[in-house]
Amino acid sequence: MGQESGAYRALDAHLDSILPPERQTLGNSVIPTLLSSIGCISTILRHAHSVSQVGSSNAFGDEQLNVDVLCEKAVRDALTQCPSIVTASSEEDPVERPVQGETTTDKSQSPPQRSGETYTIAFDPLDGSSIIAANWTIGTIIGIWTVTRLFTKIHAKARSRRFLAFADREPVQLSPFVCRNGRRKVILNTDIRFTPEASVKTRYFAPANLRAAASDSKYLALVNHHIKEQYTLRYSGGLVPDVVHMLVKGHGVFINPVSKASKPKLRKLYELFPVALVIECAGGKAVNADDGEPVLNQEVADVEERGGFVCGTSEEVDFVVKTLVRGESIS
């Protein structure tokens, strides 16, 4: 395995230490398969000489880019080699389809044999496609669900707890991986967590959907509060880079409110649920911007459902809920 230092551990050693025997396939097949697909996406993006529209739209009406299509295909090709993954859907193709019924482009690979474990994958292959042309940071969001199908109706908290239970001996658990691809193994940081409030030196805020402040006086007051208190602005226009920045720095709050004039854009299944799980695993909070309730307490009945989102350091999220949701004045 080689030597490990500090909070960095080899992927397989970490998974062996936290997964129960009945979830062996999750550690030796599902997660490595998903990481391999992310490696394929990285290769695709490095070799893409241009970013352009392909003349098609996904089911949500969003215009697709050439890299959207290629990254979607890379994930689905990888999933066909993992027999425990029964169904999958994505933001580019939001229909639950049998994974093993699909064909991979790699003709040298034989069909995999299914084990007793079964999972469903819901993923956003390229989060941040609107900023990729400017060479800004983007990412892939993947949710692993311990069911064979997600719909008719699912309850995020119940399903996520099944996933969390696999790793409850680790503060960060499975989701917040910072991976380093080496020649022989993947190294990950198991010590990603939000810094205790008393130890925070620099405070960060990411005010998404800023146009909503034009019609929402509470949001405008909240933004002005962060400016007055000398918070450092860190907003890229992409959910993944903004969340990763908070996790790396150990502090921050991402605020994406909704208003009558500014409708929600983030989809619960493909973006909010997986990211909320990552934030909670790291010791933060992730809540609905409408009512302040935890995102993982919500239900979802359709792939199209969207919502407002507030996540980050617990104390910062509580302050946003108090002022933006409950309408308490900012002193």
Q: What is the 3-state secondary structure (H, E, C) of 199-237?
A: HCCCCEEEECCHHHHHCCHHHHHHHHHHHHCCCEECCCC
To which H or E segment does residue 78 belong? helix 66-79
pLDDT class of 177 with cuts at 50, 70, 90: very low
Please tell me the predicted confidence (pLDDT) of residue 281. 85
Q: pLDDT exceeding 70 applies to what percent of the chain?
A: 79
Nearest-10 crossing angle of helices 239-249, 273-281 = 0
The 3-state DSSP class for residue 137 equals coil
- Decide if pLDDT at 194 tops 90: yes
What would you measure as the largest C-alpha separation in the chain, in angstroms?
66
Cα 71 to Cα 97: distance, rounded to the nearest angstrom: 17
Structure tokens at 111: 């069909």
Handedness of CA 67, 305, 259, 274 (dihedral sign): negative
Please tell me the predicted confidence (pLDDT) of residue 203. 96
Mean pLDDT of 194-209: 93
Q: Is 21 in contact with 123 (CB distance < 8 Å)?
A: no
Query: 8-10 and 186-189 as β-strands: parallel, antiparallel, unpaired?
Result: antiparallel
The 3-state DSSP class for residue 136 equals coil
Give the C-alpha distances (Å, rounded to integers) separating 282 from 45, 75, 112, 226.
29, 26, 34, 23
- Centre a 10 Å sphere on the Cβ of residue 279 and count the other Cβ atoms it contains: 28
Mind listing the pLDDT tens digit for each residue in 130-166?
Answer: 888 888 888 899 988 887 776 644 444 434 333 333 3
Mind listing the pLDDT tens digit for each residue in 8-52?
Answer: 567 778 788 888 888 889 888 998 888 888 888 888 888 877 777
Please tell me the predicted confidence (pLDDT) of residue 8. 56
The 3-state DSSP class for residue 88 equals strand
Chosen CATH of 197-325 out of 3.40.190.80, 3.40.470.10, 3.30.365.10, 2.40.50.140: 3.40.190.80
**Which fold, 8-189?**
Fructose-1,6-Bisphosphatase; Chain A, domain 1 (3.30.540)
Cα 38 to Cα 180: distance, rounded to the nearest angstrom: 12
Mean pLDDT estimate for the chain: 80
Which residue intervals of the chain bear CATH 3.30.540.10? 8-189
Please tell me the predicted confidence (pLDDT) of residue 185. 52
Nearest Cα to Cα of residue 255 among 301, 319, 193, 194: 319
Instruction: Please give the angle made by the CA atoms of 226, 202 and 252, to the nearest 5 degrees.
Output: 60
- Decide if pLDDT at 310 tops 90: yes
Cα 18 to Cα 7: distance, rounded to the nearest angstrom: 15
Which residue intervals of the chain bear CATH 3.40.190.80? 197-325
256 contact partners, CB below 8 Å, separation of at least 6: 208, 209, 264, 265, 266, 289, 308, 309, 310
